[in-house]
Structure 1
Amino acid sequence: MQKEYAFYDTVGIDFPLDETIEWVKTPCKGDFLVANYPEAEALIYAPEINFYVAQSEDSIAHKITNVAKLYAIRSVGFDFAQDVDYSQEVGKKLLIVTDESEHEALKSDLSEEMFTVMLLSPSMILDLNGHIGALHVTLKKEDELLELECDQVLWWNAPKFAMKQSGVYDPAVIGLEEALKTLRERTGEYHYKNYISYDPSICQYHERREEICGKCAEVCPTVAILKEDETKHLVFSHIDCHGCGGCVSVCPSGALDYTQMPRLAFTHLSDYFRESIALIIPNKMDLGVIDIPLREGVLPLMIEGEKYLHEAHLLNLLQTSGNPIVFYTDFISKGTGDVIRILNEIFEKKYHKKAIYVCETTEELASVFETLQSIPECCYGINEAGLRKREIFSARLAHVVGEEDLGVVKTGEHVHYGDMSIDTDKCTLCLSCVGACNVRALTAHPEDNSLRFNASICTNCGYCEVTCPEKDCLHVIKDEIHLKPSWFSQRIMAHDELFACVECGKEFATRKSVEKIVAIMTPLFMGDDVKLRTLYCCADCKPKVMFRAHMETEMKEVKNG
């Protein structure tokens, strides 16, 4: 039977491999899913396998198990991936934007490669939009506005707005040789994927009367996510997406997920790190420079998008492994950075230990390996199937807190949690706030006519406050996590008894809502007893009361002749 995993021995290993792995003695190409060397042309190249074998201080028995785990971890991402392959035809219309005259020679060289090359000064360009293979340039020439189309652009010292479009390369940043290599590789049929999946039903921006959220578009380094202000719809351009995942880490509700590693996939992946220390390394980082021993129990985790990890991911990994997490990276995203600070504060309060370390250099990494302490007391497991991001984090964090009161942790600019207060004297239980909440933090309970709230799954968006029709009734408390049991359970925020129709006895509204309407309408009805009585009637009885009064009036008029 054909094996999916290939291992080409380039480091001289002295231990046997798991039976699921085919040991390749010489470089070859095969129908493999995962391989430890690029020449195998497997679907997935996993450089962390050779890195682990060469640097790990684990025993031979653990190395045998862990090498198999590294292959399986990569397989999990492949099995659960939700990405779709797309392609775009990219022609040879090339625009070079520069003030340097020597680039005429570059234009000539590229023309020999059958590129149609246009050379423009940056001062002429007013706007650039579109995407690779279909870029549209607005320029001004002698007071005349012109439009031109091209497939790709070389722009020295390109402005920020230009670099947001796919197909634009700045040789001043990446070097001319790399820029030319990239545009040549992308000429013809350009293949790309959707890195982001989207659930508008829990989006905090989608079709809301006011802009409550929009963090994803704010942190996107390209034009892959745009906001349509009129309709309050998000528009996704997958061809412009770099796959960094920054939008996922700041999405408050979990409406965005990373297709290369969906939350369910990460749950399965975490199982391979039980009793191991996860060393997270973005794929862009060079493993070759980490020339230090890997402490016993350390297992590398290579991730595709360096910015997508959020609080549900990281707390899952902490509670599954029972060990701190180590990041080796030169960049931490805004969302992930907030989460790391929050989790470190919580773990310091509870366990007096650090949860997550961030290392930019091998020296920092070596120092952390010497000092970090395991956290077996944090271990906890839940079934995450069917749960949303906030619900996962709530259930896991509730276990950390237990029955204690650990105080308050402030959240940050990009990750929001909080609380709310309701003036029960003003609340009529109209339930507008429940309709406004699409993450199930606010719920109505007809069994006892109550309005309940779970702070731990609230996104702190404030849309309930905007929606509430009563003045100064509902207030959102911003950016606080209260580390006490009551913060994780449903609290009754308002309660009332039902009012029975004075005609038929059917309960049709809360007493407070009826009293409010009566207070508003009584002055307007100016002592009209019939109209006043309708205020205490259900919808079915109101017209009956009015009709009966009308008929009685007519009968009196007939009698009085």
Structure 2
Amino acid sequence: GWGRQRAQAGPKIASLLALAQLAPPDPLPTVSYDSSQGRLLIIGSSAMAFGWAERLHANLSVTVLVNDSQPLPMQKHFFIANGNLQSLDGFLGQFQAQWQRDNPIQLDLCTRCGACLEACPEGAIDLSFQIDMRKCKSHRDCVSACGPIGAIQFNQVEEAIEDQFDFVLDLNERPFMAMPEKPQGYFAPGGIWSNQALAVQKLLGSIGEFDKPKFFAYQESSCAHGRNGQVGCHACIDICSTQAIQSVFKSGKGSVAVNPQLCMGCGACATACPTGAMTYANPTVPYLGQQVKTIVQTFSQMSQGRLSPTILLHSGAAGGEKVLDQLGKMARLQPDRYSGLPSNMVPLSLHHIASTGIDLWLSSLAHGLAEIVLLASGEESAAYLPALADQVALANQICTGLGYEERVHIISLDHREDDVLAEEQLQLLDQRLNNFGAKKTVAQLATFVFSKDKRQTLEMSLEHLLLHAPVPLAPDESLLLATNALIGGIEVNQDQCTLCMSCVGACPGGALIDHLELPQLGFIEKNCVQCGLCVQTCPEDAIQLLPRLSPISKRKEKQFVNEAKPFHCIKCAKPFATEKMMTAMFAKIGNHPAFAGSAQDRIKMCSDCRVIDLMSQPAPNKE
């Protein structure tokens, strides 16, 4: 029962048993790693790097990159390179490193014979076998002493060197790769020896060939990243903690490229994506929807409708289960101080807490959940929390605006040492979990299917919540939302807009529509994802985003946000532009001689008549 209310936990236990009987989700495609060559790059201070290189060279092909002046090992058990690391990218089995030589002596060729030390008249070379360029007078006696070995090359200083590695052991206090979630195969334990030993142990266990799931699917046609060379949405790029997502522009159209080897499966990109172009597959929203329906049906049946379930979403084995186990244990051992999980709160394990968003939450409320609680247990990147908090706030704006009260909550815990939550934090967690109370579900439970299409799932949930709202919106009323909302409308300044229709071609969701024959700009609000591409594309700066939730009819129906009097061809009378556009064009042309006389009349013709008029003109006299 996980708490003091274990005597009332029958519906919750029945719900968990029903979840366990569901068929597992479909298997995911996989991506592969191959680190079997065992190529290791160690970066950091020479003292620490050489120590680990001595221990590991028997099992791995070790390269140490040094940029300090420490005595070198006299025996060459491993490869030593000197220089400053310039770039490092990649993943387990495919790291690409580039460094710049910063000294004439190339340590990979140097035999440590010491001839250069004896030959140097200034004493500019020591046992680090590096030349102090402040002392060197360029006699080049050292070059002669090195002879055929050729390890001293003054002309190759600052040369760029590239190499590939399977692993990187970064012993610097500040890791070279600065992203919150480091790629697999990159170990950055810092300067503490015990942490280094644990990292090396993990490293040695990573030699070989491995597969992992491909956690995402991407549909480029739905992506709102860019059109006409303009950048619109970049939510997935901003939130990715592994920097696995990159911007790609081809012929003016923007999309994103995701490196599946770098992806760690948090799902935050799919949560942040307004269009549903990026979807999460571990598991999918339809499978989570099946779990939600199972919980609601089983819980309601076992409680005979007296209670409605709340779900607690947590990150499973990554940290959430350990926190809940600790809380349940304390509720049993110290029932006077801890209550544990309420009897109506059903825990649901996820691969990562950032993988669910407003589409799942609102749909789950529509299907009968009382509330949704997200437990961020401290092991996830801090970069996810603001984005999750924004979506929670947006969901609650919609719920409270429609009279449902706040229904979605997030609880954030600090990072835990040794997977144990401090007593003060555990008590605060216990209080938060037991302060939600028991809210009623929506009056009429939804029957729609949780779809793989994010916009379809979101739209069906919004329509259901609008239809049964305790505080319904008036036909001409809209609920204003935060600026980062993924639903809303637009406002067009009709005095500035010339109906050039640039925005129509830029809109990825088909929210903006032109008329085939008349100068009219149409808009369907439910298709708008608030990506801002129309704002970026508009040459007249005539468009503003309006994040809001409008009534069902207003969201579904086509509205005309601007229309103008058509301009008719002076030859055939066919409408082909607007009077406002033509007036603006003539104002810009002015008295330019290139458009004087018949040339100006041609501008007033449609494209067909313009060609006919040009071809009917007499040929110029060449005499």
Shorter-chain TM-score range: 0.7 to 0.9
> In structure 2, how many angstroms separate the alpha carbons of the residues matched to 1:541 and 1:102?
81
- Name the residue aligned to 1:539: 607
- Name the residue aligned to 1:492: 560
- Name the residue aligned to 1:198: 218
> In structure 2, how many angstroms separate the alpha carbons of the residues matched to 1:507 and 1:178?
75
- Name the residue aligned to 1:350: 402
- Name the residue aligned to 1:289: 326
| AA at the equivalent of 2:187 | Y
- Name the residue aligned to 1:481: 548
SS at match of 1:460: coil
Q: Which moved more, 1:434-443 or 1:396-405?
A: 396-405
SS at match of 2:88: strand
- Are 2:482 and 1:410 aligned? yes
The one of 363, 372, 393 aligned to 2:427: 363
Gaps of 5+ in 1: 1-50, 555-561
> In structure 2, how many angstroms separate the alpha carbons of the residues matched to 1:122 and 1:316?
56
CA contact (8 A) 2:589 2:595 kept: no
- Name the residue aligned to 2:458: 393
CA contact (8 A) 2:31 2:213 kept: yes
> In structure 2, how many angstroms separate the alpha carbons of the residues matched to 1:417 and 1:170?
41
Q: Which moved more, 1:326-335 or 1:510-519?
A: 510-519
Change (3 A) 1:501 1:144: closer
CA contact (8 A) 2:520 2:563 kept: yes
C-alpha displacement of 1:307: 1.5
CA contact (8 A) 1:86 1:191 kept: yes
- Provide the TM-score with structure 2 as the length reference: 0.68
Q: Which has the higher contact order (CA 8 A, sep 6+)?
A: 2
Change (3 A) 1:504 1:357: closer
- Structure of larger gyration radius: 2
> In structure 2, how many angstroms separate the alpha carbons of the residues matched to 1:527 and 1:144?
59
* Structure-to-structure mapping, 1:36-47, within 5 angstroms: none
| AA at the equivalent of 2:294 | Y
C-alpha displacement of 1:169: 0.9
Deviations 1:147-196 (A, max 9, x none): 34321122223425266443111224893354233212221102233222
* Structure-to-structure mapping, 1:96-245, within 5 angstroms: 96-99=42-45, 101=47, 104-112=50-58, 114-121=59-66, 124-126=83-85, 127-139=87-99, 140-142=101-103, 143-145=157-159, 146-156=161-171, 157-161=173-177, 164-172=182-190, 175-206=195-226, 208-228=228-248, 232-245=254-267
Change (3 A) 1:98 1:380: same
> In structure 2, how many angstroms separate the alpha carbons of the residues matched to 1:500 and 1:375?
61
The one of 52, 60, 67 aligned to 2:17: 67
C-alpha displacement of 1:270: 3.1
- Name the residue aligned to 1:86: 32
- Are 2:405 and 1:333 aligned? no
- Name the residue aligned to 2:357: 310
> In structure 2, how many angstroms separate the alpha carbons of the residues matched to 1:239 and 1:488?
40
Q: Which moved more, 1:199-208 or 1:172-181?
A: 172-181
C-alpha displacement of 1:390: 4.0
> In structure 1, how many angstroms separate the alpha carbons of the residues matched to 2:533 and 2:406?
35
Deviations 1:418-449 (A, max 9, x none): 54322324434332211110112212344875
- Are 2:250 and 1:250 aligned? no
CA contact (8 A) 2:19 2:291 kept: no
The one of 304, 322, 347 aligned to 1:300: 347
- Name the residue aligned to 1:30: none
| AA at the equivalent of 2:510 | R
SS at match of 1:438: coil
| AA at the equivalent of 1:451 | L
- Are 2:397 and 1:451 aligned? no
- Name the residue aligned to 1:23: none
> In structure 1, how many angstroms separate the alpha carbons of the residues matched to 2:597 and 2:166?
77
C-alpha displacement of 1:238: 1.3
User: Percent same amino acid at aligned positions?
Assistant: 21
Change (3 A) 1:319 1:383: closer
C-alpha displacement of 1:252: 2.8
- Name the residue aligned to 1:4: none
Q: What is the CA RMSD across the aligned residues, in angstroms?
A: 3.8
- Name the residue aligned to 1:5: none
| AA at the equivalent of 2:482 | K
Q: Which moved more, 1:229-238 or 1:203-212?
A: 229-238
Q: Which moved more, 1:438-447 or 1:55-64?
A: 55-64
> In structure 1, how many angstroms separate the alpha carbons of the residues matched to 2:521 and 2:573?
24
> In structure 2, how many angstroms separate the alpha carbons of the residues matched to 1:487 and 1:175?
59
| AA at the equivalent of 2:39 | K
| AA at the equivalent of 1:151 | D
Equivalent pairs counted in the alignment come to 493
C-alpha displacement of 1:547: 4.8
CA contact (8 A) 2:311 2:369 kept: no
Q: Which moved more, 1:134-143 or 1:443-452?
A: 443-452
CA contact (8 A) 2:97 2:163 kept: yes
Change (3 A) 1:532 1:171: closer
SS at match of 1:138: strand
Change (3 A) 1:326 1:487: same
> In structure 2, how many angstroms separate the alpha carbons of the residues matched to 1:395 and 1:215?
23
Q: Which moved more, 1:141-150 or 1:252-261?
A: 141-150
CA contact (8 A) 2:572 2:609 kept: yes
SS at match of 1:234: strand
- Name the residue aligned to 1:95: 41
